[in-house]
């Protein structure tokens, strides 16, 4: 059966509260003012180092790469300890995953989060057993938007490209899927600076209750 591959941050799980909390603790440790939650929320998605750099840039600051590396190490240590303090699955997710599994779909995760952090988060939320593969930015030698990461995630989950579908929240996810020639469903509650209806996804959903139907529609067209 087809493989449904999900992004993680901003797609499966609302991780922004813990990501932004950690960001602001690290910034303030180094004498930099906190970033407002709504401003920081749209900086999420490309990974921690870009998040740190964008947060600093919002204050007109630019740290050298070696300093960003030090902040990154501090961030990971703190975030790992508080990875699921306030992060929660988006509404309707578990019901949608149940429905897709009942239809025989294989489920997987393809995220630019480090793999061990992705696994730790999904374990903490008791979601990890639902996925045949959980792949992060360090699982393979490439990361999204390189389409090979998506292809390799599907293969690791035991699936194939035929009938596979990507579900994500950002231009990175849409670009990855399109480059892999795989249909993509976007959610409108994620962390994108681009308006969700302008991402160019094959379908756009506003709640996970709509996901099983969107999957059925895409598969009906592709057959």
Q: In sequence order, what DSSP letters do the residues of 129-166 get, joined into one string? A: GG-SEEE-TTTSS--TTSHHHHHHHHHHTT--STT-EE
152-156: long-range pairs with CB below 8 Å, 24+: 153/5, 153/108, 153/109, 153/110, 154/3, 154/5, 154/108, 156/108, 156/132
More confidently predicted of 134 and 193: 134
- Output the average pLDDT for the chain: 95
Considering the segment(s) 3-14+87-222 as one domain, its CATH architecture is 3-Layer(aba) Sandwich (3.40)
- Residue range(s) occupied by CATH 1.10.150 in the chain: 16-81
At residue 45, the pLDDT reads 72
Q: What is the pLDDT of residue 223?
A: 62
- pLDDT band for position 34 (cuts 50, 70, 90): very high
- In CATH, which of 3.40.50, 1.10.472, 1.10.150, 1.10.10 is domain 16-81? 1.10.150
In this prediction, residues 71-94 reach a mean pLDDT of: 97
Q: What is the mean pLDDT of residues 144-149?
A: 97
pLDDT value of position 169: 96
Of 1, 5, 10, give the one whose Cα is nearest residue 121: 10
d(CA 150, CA 155): 9
Q: Which residues are catalytic?
A: 7
Contact (Cβ atoms closer than 8 angstroms) between residue 45 and residue 16: no
What are the start and end residues of each CATH 3.40.50.1000 domain in the chain? Answer: 3-14+87-222
| CA dihedral angle for residue 207, residue 136, residue 50, residue 174, rounded to 10 degrees | -50
Residue 26's alpha-carbon distances to 73, 148, 150, in angstroms, are 10, 33, 32
């Amino acid at each position: 059966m087809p493989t449904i591959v999900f992004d993680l941050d901003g797609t499966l799980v609302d991780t922004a509260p813990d990501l932004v909390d950690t960001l602001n603790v690290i910034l303030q440790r180094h004498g930099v003012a906190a970033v407002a939650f709504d401003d920081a929320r749209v900086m999420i998605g490309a990974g921690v180092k870009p998040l740190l750099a964008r947060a600093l840039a919002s204050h007109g600051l630019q740290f050298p790469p070696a300093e960003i590396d030090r902040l990154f190490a501090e961030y990971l240590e703190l975030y790992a300890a508080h990875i699921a303090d306030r992060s929660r699955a988006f509404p309707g997710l578990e019901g949608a995953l149940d429905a897709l599994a009942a239809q025989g779909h294989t489920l997987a995760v393809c995220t630019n989060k480090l793999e061990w952090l992705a696994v730790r988060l999904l374990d903490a939320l008791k979601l990890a057993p639902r996925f045949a593969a959980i792949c992060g930015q360090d699982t393979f030698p490439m990361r999204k938007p390189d389409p090979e990461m998506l292809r390799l995630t599907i293969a690791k989950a035991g699936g194939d490209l035929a009938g596979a579908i990507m579900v994500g929240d950002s231009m990175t996810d849409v670009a990855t899927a399109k480059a892999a020639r795989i249909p993509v469903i976007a959610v409108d509650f994620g962390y994108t600076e681009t308006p969700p209806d302008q991402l160019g996804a094959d379908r756009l959903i506003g709640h996970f209750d709509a996901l099983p139907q969107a999957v059925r529609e895409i598969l009906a067209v592709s057959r």
